[in-house]
Structure formats: C-alpha cells, structure tokens
Structure 1
Amino acid sequence: MTSQLYLVRHGQTALNAEGRLRGLADPPLDEIGQRQAAAVAIALSGTGANRVLSSPLRRAVRTAQIIADALGIEQRADTRFNDRDYGFWTGHRKSEVVAEWGTVDAAPGVETSETVLARVLPALDEFAAPGTHSTPIIVVTHDAVIRSVMLHIDPAAPTITVPTGSYQALTYREGRWRIDLTDQQPL
C-alpha cells in the first residue's frame, strides 16, 4: 500500500516577516499568511485528502482551518507536530543567534533536531501503517519540523528552504518515506 502525505508550513506571521525565531511563541497569521493558506488550499484541492492535522500553535491551526474549510474535510491539532522549542532564543532574530553561535542548533537551550524527530517520526509511521490511511493526509506544521523530517528521509537532499505557505509531498512505498516534491509555493 502507498500512503501520501503533504507537509505544509503555516502561513506568515509578523515574527516570520521580522526574521525572528517563533518556536512555542503563538503569533497569529498576518494578512500575507492568510492568503498563503488559501493558496495552499487551492493547490491541494485535487489531492483527495480527507483530513488535515496541525501543530496546536495558532499559526498552524489557522492555516489548517483555512485548508480544511476550503476542502470540506476534518481538521484537528496534534501536539507531535508542534514547533521546535527555541527556549531563551524565542523572539530573537535568527541572524543574531547564528552570528553568536554559528547555527541555531548550537545555541544553548534549543530543542535538538533529534528530539523533534523523536515525536514526529512515530506519527509518520502511524500514517504508513497498513490499512490505516488510504487517502492522503495534510499536516500543517513548522519549518524546523519539516526540515528535520526531510533531512531524515534523505540526508543528501538538496537545500530545502521551507518558506511560509509552502508544501512538500511525500509518499510511503517499499517500506520507507520518499520525497516527491519540495518547497512548492502556490502564492
């Protein structure tokens, strides 16, 4: 059996526009983010998806609601798709953290990619279990989650930027997830 999954990054927020780390902060979508979510809904309207899951953070929930309403499908939040916790660095400009520590990963108190994967991969495995999902699923989450998943699937994958309002397409076949599309930006 083949399972299909669309990983959607939520629409833009004011913190995104300012280049700040959001993590567990809970800003709403801005006007651009609302339009991005509507554009993703149109782009995914022909997929046959029957539900949308999202991180419980407001920016992801609202993006998922816009998609679910447009497609007439179920939407619910799942904490496993929550954003990476940046701890003290939440709200700081990413460029400043990188300038000080070399990478966001090196900054003290930042949730590791391994910890993110430890909560996300079991959810993906559930989607791939035989007989559980015969129709595609849409998951609205965050760039740190998507990037971690994509690099786990294919460490040699070309640079994935995961802009706001973009989606990635995955297929589970022959016992593993495969990347079909990356960084699709309908708006």
Structure 2
Amino acid sequence: MVSVQRREFGPGADVTVLLCRHGRTALNAQGVLRGRLDPPLDEVGRAEAEALARALVPWRPRRVLSSPRQRAQQTAAALAKAVGLAVEVDPRLDDRDYGEWAGLPASDLVARFGSVDAAPGVEAVEAVAARARRALLDAAAEALGGTVVLVAHDAVNRALLRALDPSLGDPERLPQPTGCVNVLERSAGQWRVDVVGRVGTGRRQPGP
C-alpha cells in the first residue's frame, strides 16, 4: 500500500498539495502513450486507487480535483468517497495531448522523430506545465491552512514538479508509477517538493 506519513505543517506553511497519478489501465500495462484516450482503470488500477485513498484519508483533504479522464476520476472518486467530498474536474489537469500518436509506444516516436517532443501535434511540455501550474495555484488559493488533492497523469506531474523545483533535473527521470503521490508544500510563498512518486509497494509499476 501507499505509505505517506501525515505531519504537521512546517514553519510558515500555508497549504499542502497531494499531487497523485491515477491507477493503472490496460494501456499502461501495454506500455503505450495514453494522452486523450480514455481507458478505465483495470483490476490492478482499482486496487491502487483504493490503497491510495486509504493512505491519504489521514491528511483530511478539503478538496479533491481530477483530470477529466475517467482513469483519473475513478482514482479520485475512491478518496472523495472515503472523506465525504465530491470530485471536482479541472480540464487543466488533463493528460498531455499526443494527438494522432496516442496509443503508440513512445519508442516509435523516438525512432521516427528523435523524441516524443519532436513529433508533430504533440503538446509542448512547457504548455503542460503552465496549465497544470495554474490549476495548482488556484486550488492552493482555496485551501489555505489545509490540504488539497490533485489527481493527474505522469506527464503532467513530471512537468509540474520540474517547474516547481528545477533542481529535480530531467522530468522524464522523475518516478511517477501508477497510484503514486507527490507531496508539495507552500511555505512563505515558496513551493517545496517533499515527496516524489511514493507508492511504498516495493514493486515496479508498468507503463512509460
């Protein structure tokens, strides 16, 4: 199960954001790009969503926001139900748009164009980070002194984490297994990334 210990706010902390990745889908298991495709959670993904919910209940979130993709909404719903909240959908948390290349392995794009980023019609990482950051800031502004949960996607989470803390390095190297959580805290107007890609299961999750 996910293991993330809840702690009291540090000096000057005014909000904590639990940035999560949705549970596994069949397309994750196949190792292909998902993007705006909309598969549901598979059996493993449903179990991951329940485990994530149990781990995050002690944080007593005030809001649970989700990408519009059903894999994210299903993951968010497990937590929202446990804490008596409704899932709020924010389109800015949607997965990266891979255009016509969704459903293909990333390696196919690398072989053809040199990188996923270079493929025509793929949403720029900077655009992903910008919209996700706006969603984060708006959610944080309404959760002062508390905790808010955002459920998004690996590409979104990596871009946002790197935007908040450039010292994390190459976003593609940041672990974001399905059903994971990242803990972000804002103190004195500054964001700090406390936890990256925590699942606590000790097993490797499939999917790029």
Give the shorter-chain TM-score range: over 0.9
Q: Deviations over 1:97-132 (max 9, x none)?
A: 223233211211100011112222122222343x75
Separation in structure 1 between the aligned mates of residue 163 and residue 123 of structure 2, nearest angstrom: 16
Contact 1:88 1:109 survives alignment (8 Å): yes
Aligned pairs for 1:136-151 (under 5 A) are 136-151=147-162
Alignment match of 1:25 (pick from 37, 60, 74)? 37
- 2:193 equivalent in structure 1: 179
Three-state SS of the structure 1 residue aligned to 2:126 is helix
Hey, which bits of structure 1, 4+ residues long, moved more than 4 A?
Answer: none
1:161 counterpart (175, 185, 189): 175
Cα 1:37–1:132 change in 2 (3 A) is closer
Cross-structure match for 2:50: 38
- The percentage of aligned residue pairs carrying the same residue is 45
Question: In the aligned structure 1, how far is the partner of 2:163 from the partner of 2:17?
Answer: 15
Q: Aligned residues, how many? A: 186
**What is the RMSD computed on CA atoms of the aligned residues?**
1.5
Offset at 1:72?
2.3
Q: CA, structure 1 residues 66+72, in 2 after alignment: closer, same or farther (shift >3 Å)? A: same
In the alignment, the residues of structure 2 paired with residue 72 and residue 132 of structure 1 have an alpha-carbon distance, to the nearest angstrom, of 16
Give the Cα–Cα distance (whole angstroms) in 1 for the partners of residues 70 and 139 of structure 2.
24
**1:71 Cα deviation (Å)?**
2.5
Unaligned runs of 5+ in 1: none
**Aligned pair 1:108/2:120, yes or no?**
yes
Task: Tell me which of 34, 40, 65 is aligned to 1:53.
Answer: 65
* 69-78 vs 160-169, which moves further: 69-78
| Secondary structure of 2:168's aligned partner | coil
Q: Deviations over 1:38-71 (max 9, x none)?
A: 1101111111212210001110011111111122
What are the within-5 Å matches in structure 2 for residues 71-150 of structure 1? 71-129=83-141, 132-150=143-161
- TM-score, scaled relative to structure 2: 0.84
| Structure 2: tracts of 5 or more residues without a match | 1-12, 202-208
